[in-house]
A and B are shown apart, each in its own frame.
Chain A
């Protein structure tokens, strides 16, 4: 009867345990700058296209929708402000994080899962290397660090998307649009989005790595770990986002 709860708490326990081990191992030598760099490149640099595409189209569609609605009561001058605030406070971080969960969380679940079922993780332990230290520490911190940087870019590109659609498609005045976009936005709005992004990065990587690390049962197990990494990572992002927003505003 309590099976679903049981497995929920088992998973929560495992992920927490991985996170604690990451904290304990973070400051212990030997450090492996190459692993860190590789992960930064994979999560940070290689995710730029997908995150920016998401941002530019989200900004664009937001402009289309909001313009149509605001036009009903003659407030279409405020489109820029709404698009901008929605992007930096909420949409860039959440949608960007969901894309990263699909891209990097999945990759971590699959890679570590494959290493687990082919005994490469056992081999690491036998070769006097803690697998959490060697594999998971760089992934978790690289993702935590890379996500705010990616989202900062996404903020800018999302606003640009809204601008292009408003000015070119809807015929808004370019100067007024930009002025309105930034008039009601302050640094806290941007910061709150970036802090969220860092937390999402931490969640996605820890969950993805934990799923892969505990994979079992051959190719099928790797598949399950990958799916679980994406699904659990995405849900965690959405749920935690609600509470973070409640906390910060």
Chain B
């Protein structure tokens, strides 16, 4: 059952915001080098989960381990250093809107190595932009870019320090189907080039099946199932079927929330 090496291991994660219990005992293992897609409806706790992996949020209960290190044992400064292993792209890109594209991508490089030469930065910025299929946008500010371009610049910024782990938060939400396909291809290319472990959260099924090695289904703060795309599609779990078919009626939307007592299959 258990795979030999886990890049990331989440065990028994509980997280509440006030009275809202968002993650309710979540377990998830992510293997080195795999591309995991986490599917889930709106408000299922996808973004909260991602923020736990990178240490932006701390769980109320449970542990997050990355490369065998329990994140809760790290101090504030160590955690900041530790984050260099990660590259994260945000919904809408989260580019610094007071800076140009060039400055946005140069930012992590300058922060990591304050003495780096401008020529080296430029070379790396060009490389990163080329990896995401953009050119000639260096001097533009984020407001001048389209949604798809903004996200690709966000990717370029995320890979500037060649991270081992890439996190994508809803990379295709709000984009047209063609741009979605482009973004999916960019994600696959980046993964091939960097060999990084990739975690993508989305509710876009087409996109999920295009980029995933394994797909995990998140519902009401727990992982319902994790399986390779084909198995996932063939599953007879009525909850997965409801999500795949996009039906309004079914076990996912039943109230009150069904009590899942079993530990989900890793």
* Chain A interface residues toward B at CB < 8 A: 29-30, 115, 118-120, 122-123, 125-130
Q: What are 28 inter-chain pairs, A to B, with CB distance below 8 A?
A: A29-B114, A30-B111, A30-B114, A115-B96, A118-B92, A118-B94, A118-B97, A119-B90, A119-B92, A120-B95, A122-B90, A123-B95, A125-B56, A126-B54, A126-B83, A126-B86, A126-B88, A127-B83, A127-B107, A127-B108, A127-B111, A127-B157, A128-B83, A128-B84, A128-B108, A129-B107, A130-B76, A130-B80
Contacting residues of chain B (29-65) with chain A, CB-CB under 8 angstroms: 51, 54, 56
User: Total interface residues on B, using CB and 8 Å?
Assistant: 24
Residue of A at shortest CB range from B96? Answer: A120
Knowing A30-B111, A30-B114, the reply to whether A125 touches B83 (Cβ < 8 A) is yes
* Chain B interface residues toward A at CB < 8 A: 51, 54, 56, 76, 80-81, 83-84, 86-88, 90-92, 94-97, 107-108, 111-112, 114, 157
Contact of B111 among A115, A122, A129 (CB under 8 A): A129
Cα-based distance from A128 to B87 in the complex (angstroms) = 10
Q: Measured between C-beta atoms, what is the minimum distance from A128 to chain B in Å?
A: 5
Residue of B at shortest CB range from A125? Answer: B56
The residues of B that contact A122 with a CB separation of less than 8 Å are 51, 56, 90, 94
The residues of B that contact A119 with a CB separation of less than 8 Å are 90-92, 94
Ranked nearest first, the 10 interchain pairs of A and B with the lowest CB-CB distance are: A119-B94, A123-B94, A126-B88, A127-B108, A119-B90, A30-B114, A128-B83, A128-B84, A128-B80, A129-B111
User: Taking chain A's interface residues, is the majority helix, strand, or loop, or is none over half, making it mixed?
Assistant: loop
**Given A127-B111, A128-B81, A128-B112, 20 additional A-B pairs, CB 8 A:** A29-B114, A30-B111, A118-B97, A119-B90, A119-B92, A119-B94, A120-B94, A120-B95, A122-B94, A123-B95, A123-B96, A126-B87, A127-B83, A127-B108, A128-B83, A128-B108, A128-B111, A129-B80, A129-B107, A130-B76
Residue of B at shortest CB range from A21? Answer: B76
The residues of A that contact B86 with a CB separation of less than 8 Å are 126
The residues of A that contact B76 with a CB separation of less than 8 Å are 130
The residues of A that contact B97 with a CB separation of less than 8 Å are 118, 120
Cα-based distance from A120 to B93 in the complex (angstroms) = 9
The residues of A that contact B95 with a CB separation of less than 8 Å are 120, 123
Q: Measured between C-beta atoms, what is the minimum distance from B8 to chain A in Å?
A: 15
Cα-based distance from A129 to B51 in the complex (angstroms) = 16
The residues of B that contact A130 with a CB separation of less than 8 Å are 76, 80
Are A123 and B56 in contact, with the CB atoms below 8 A? no
Q: Measured between C-beta atoms, what is the minimum distance from B124 to chain A in Å?
A: 14
The residues of A that contact B111 with a CB separation of less than 8 Å are 30, 127-129
Cα-based distance from A118 to B143 in the complex (angstroms) = 13
